[in-house]
Amino acid sequence: MRRVRSVATAALLAALSACAQGPEPGPVTAGASVTTAATALGAGWSAGADDGMSWFYNPASDGVKLAYGAPTSDAVRLMIYCQGAGRVRLETTSPGSPPERSLRLASGASETRLPLADEESPMGGRLLSAQADAGAPALNAFRSSGQLTMSAGAAAVPLHASAAEAQAVDSFFRACGG
C-alpha cells in the first residue's frame, strides 16, 4: 500500500506541475518565481538567481494541494496535501536520506519541527514526508507573510511566495481549515 501511495504521489507531483497556469485567475494560481539558496535536502536542489519555481494551488476533487515547483514540469520541491480536519501532509524528495530525522519549517520568528518519514521514491532518491496541523506556527506565519524556509539538515532552502502567489497560499489554508 505504501509503495502504491509513493507511486501515486510521484505521479501527482508530475501532473500537478504540468497543469500549472500563469498568474491569471483559475483553479491553479501561480506568480513570479522566487530565489533559492544553497543545496538543502540533497544535491538535486541547486541554487540559482532565478530557479523558476512558484507556488501553485490545486483545489482538485481528490483533495486540496499546494505545491512549490516549476510550471509545466515535474520539478516540485514541496507538496502540501490537505488531509482534512486542519491537518496537512508535507512531501519533498531528496537524492539521499537527510542528515536529520526532522523537517524544519521557519517563517520569520516562527519555527515548526516535524518528525520526518523517509522512504524510497519510485522516481529515484528518497521521498520525505511529515504531518502537521495546518495552523502550526511556521505554516500560520507563512500564510501571513509569504516567507517559508525548509530544511532537514544544516542548509535551508527558502520557498517564499511572491505577492502574486499570496492568494494561492491563502486559498489553500482557508480550504484546509488552517
Q: Where are the beta strands (DSSP E) in 1-108?
A: 54-60, 63-69, 76-84, 87-94, 102-107
| Average pLDDT of the segment spanning 22-37 | 30
Give the pLDDT band of residue 55 (cuts 50, 70, 90): very high
**Domain boundaries defined on the chain:** 2-176
pLDDT of residue 38: 27
Q: How many CA atoms lie within 13 A of 126 on its CB side?
A: 17
CA distances from 86 to 121, 156, 161 (A): 27, 26, 21
pTM, two decimals, is 0.75
* Lowest mean pLDDT segment, chosen from 109-113, 162-166, 174-178: 174-178
Q: Which residue, chain included where needed, has cell 522516481?
A: 123
Q: Is the pLDDT of residue 161 over 60?
A: yes
